[in-house]
Amino acid sequence: MRTLTLLILSAATVLATDVSGVIKLNGPQPKRPLLQLTPESRKLYEGRPYPRDEVELVSAKGEIKNVFVYIRKGLPAGKTYAAPKKAALLDQQRSMFRPRIQGLFVGQDFAMRNSDPIIHNVRSLSQENRPFNIAQPAGTPDRLKRFSDKEGPIELRCDYHRWMRAFIFVMDHPFFAVTDEHGRFTIKNLPLGEYVLATWHESLGENKQIIQVGDSGLKKVNFTYKPKKGLNFE
């Protein structure tokens, strides 16, 4: 059984606080096989290190990258948050989606870009929102979409290059984050109160726990992560 340890630090303010932490894997560092690229994608790596599978990015210290962390329950009912004016961006770089996981708002512009000299496409496997499949030949302008309903995770694929995967969460509030290469995350300006904090990873699965966010300063939360795929996003 693999386990994850989540360390939460609450820097208190009068009405809101940042919630930060580190997510680690309690187990051996996963192996990352070389990707089996198509000939046109291999050319994009001439003189560069050959890419490896990115499903489980875990450091030698067990720190996990690309875990989506968010407040699942506890926010005031009926409160609305304005969507950012800046578009969220999914870029196709050297036959990889960048970033691999991100959160965006309901109603926010979602821009899809092809920075490669070869053709790609973006196909969404959404269920609450209308799925789409957009081809993006080299040199074409960014394409924009908007999601009208909360949903997550939504898997995105490229049919030309089967290893290309990305995941998005369409959120109705701003209290979410994605862990970096050191397993760190910060959810900013969370109002004081009691919440269900949830985490999701594409292969390790999901977890959740009740947290109390107050003015007590340091707070620690431990997660035991049961690896599984999929998430019923409430």
Q: How would you write 65-116 as a 3-class SS string?
A: CCCEEEEEECCCCCCCCCCCCCCEEEEEECCEEECCEEEEECCCEEEEEECC
Which alpha helices (H) appear in the chain, and where do they start and end? Answer: 39-42
> What is the DSSP code (8-state) at residue 9?
E
Percent of the chain scoring above 70 in pLDDT = 85
pLDDT tops 90 at residue 17:
no
Per-residue model confidence (pLDDT) at position 3 = 54
pLDDT in tens, 154-172: 999 999 999 999 999 999 9
Displacement of CA 144 from its chain's centroid (Å): 19
Instruction: Say which range, 81-95, 143-157, 166-180, 220-234, has the weakest mean pLDDT.
Output: 220-234
Mean of the pLDDT values across residues 40-63?
94
Mean of the pLDDT values across residues 43-59?
94
Amino acid present at 31: K
pLDDT tops 60 at residue 13:
no
**Alpha-carbon span 15 to 193, nearest angstrom:** 10
Mean pLDDT of the chain: 88
- Strand 101-105 and strand 205-213: the pairing is unpaired
**Alpha-carbon span 93 to 161, nearest angstrom:** 12
If 0-12 CB within 10 Å is exposed, 13-18 middle and 19+ buried, where does residue 39 land? exposed
Amino acid present at 7: L
**Alpha-carbon span 138 to 119, nearest angstrom:** 5
pLDDT in tens, 97-151: 999 999 999 999 999 999 999 999 999 999 999 999 999 999 999 999 999 999 9
Q: Which residue has the higher pLDDT, 166 or 212?
A: 166
pTM, full prediction? 0.89
Per-residue model confidence (pLDDT) at position 4 = 52
